[in-house]
Structure 1
Amino acid sequence: MTSRMLYLFASAAPPAFELEHVIERAQAEGWEVCLGLTPTAARWLDESLDHLATLTGHPVRSEYKLPGEPDVWPQADVMLFAPATFNSLNSWALGITSTFVVGVVAEGIGKGVPTVTMPCVNAAYAKHRQLDRSITELREQGVTVLYGEGGFTPNPPGSGAPKGYPWEAALTAVRHLVARA
């Protein structure tokens, strides 16, 4: 069986500490995985980066490559950006590609790469009007956004790590997206 290529991207939110298990689950389903992190997420997971690279068989990336350098990842069949923070979602929707992860998912829209994202924001951020605007913008551009029923629902601010981040919903959406493509 030929492996399918999943780009898994994550922002700095508590569910990022569960990425090892998400990678293992995706691999058990036949996915080859490349992991990309925002700079802050990379800092949070610094002690795990070598292990995560070994687990995926690909370098973990958090920065753009230099001009002229070869791309070290195979082409993606699908992308999953989860957890996606308030900042990352808004940057992506507005086309502000100052980080590697946001740049790749923004470009993925133009390349037609099927993409799923699942936010991880607290209820205070969820009240900011820009979040709804950004979610609408991404959905209008063909991104599957798992927010609200069937996806992520915000916790009260200051309540700590989200309980039960719905990783299974994200992986199910990835499977369905690829099956339709």
Structure 2
Amino acid sequence: MTTTDRVLYLFGSAAPPVFDVASVVRDAQARGFDVCLGLTPTAARWLTPQLEDLRRLTGHPVRSEYKMPGEPDVWPKADVIALAPATFNTFNEWALGLTHDFVVGVVAEGIGKGIPLVTMPCVNAAYVRHHQFERSVSELRAMGVRVLYGEGGFVPNQPGQGKPKEYPWHLVLDAVEEAGDA
């Protein structure tokens, strides 16, 4: 890491594309980002066998829980935050301001701090029929979050027909670069 590296908080929730997060971290690092990785509790459980390797790759602890009051922060301040994949639950919690999980708390606070935020959901077509999903997309966009959903972003598959290896991570990192340059 050089002192000119921009700091990216890369957050992921428990959807199958999260299993590819190591390659996403390497791609972000190649783009000049110092990456701090945060995961929802379920995503952290899914990646338990990889957590130490991910810590070594990023050079920072992988976080999935809030720190204790009074403890120093172990990460540098974020220049940009990306939350992908964002599950139906995580996406709606964020839009509604329900911050019991570390990842959702940080992105919710990031809105108020004016940190550039990018998110891309990973939901199936059945979930997007729920009225709350479109309200959450609208709410997050209204708060200045760049939501990569629909044309030019994530397009849902039918239930059971997901293609996690085709999740368009490059769109997230392209948007992060644009946001980090702004």
State the TM-score, normalized to the length of structure 1.
0.97
Runs of 4+ more than 4 Å apart: none
Match of 2:46 in 1: 44
Ranges in structure 1 where 5+ consecutive residues have no aligned partner: none
2:77 pairs with one of 67, 75, 78:
75
Task: State the partner residue of 1:88.
Answer: 90
| DSSP-derived class of the 2:166 partner | coil
CA distance in 1, matches of 2:63, 2:165: 27
Alignment length (residue pairs):
180
How is 1:3-152 mapped onto 2 (pairs within 5 angstroms)?
3-152=5-154
SS at match of 1:109: helix
CA RMSD of aligned residues (A): 0.9
User: In 1, distance between residues paired with 2:181 and 2:118?
Assistant: 13
TM-score by length of 2: 0.97
Q: Does the 8 A contact of 2:6 with 2:180 survive in 1?
A: no
Q: Give the secondary structure class of the aligned counterpart of 1:90.
A: helix
Does the 8 A contact of 1:119 with 1:146 survive in 2? yes
Shift of 1:161: 3.9
Matches of 2:115 and 2:21, distance apart in 1: 22
How far residue 160 of structure 1 moved from its aligned partner, in angstroms, is 4.1
Separation in 1, partners of 2:162, 2:153:
19
Aligned partners of 2:79 and 2:141: how far apart in 1?
19
Name 1:165's counterpart in structure 2: 167
1:162 Cα offset (Å): 3.3
Shift, 1:176, TM fit = 1.1
Instruction: Tell me whether 128-137 or 156-165 shows the greater mean CA deviation.
Output: 156-165
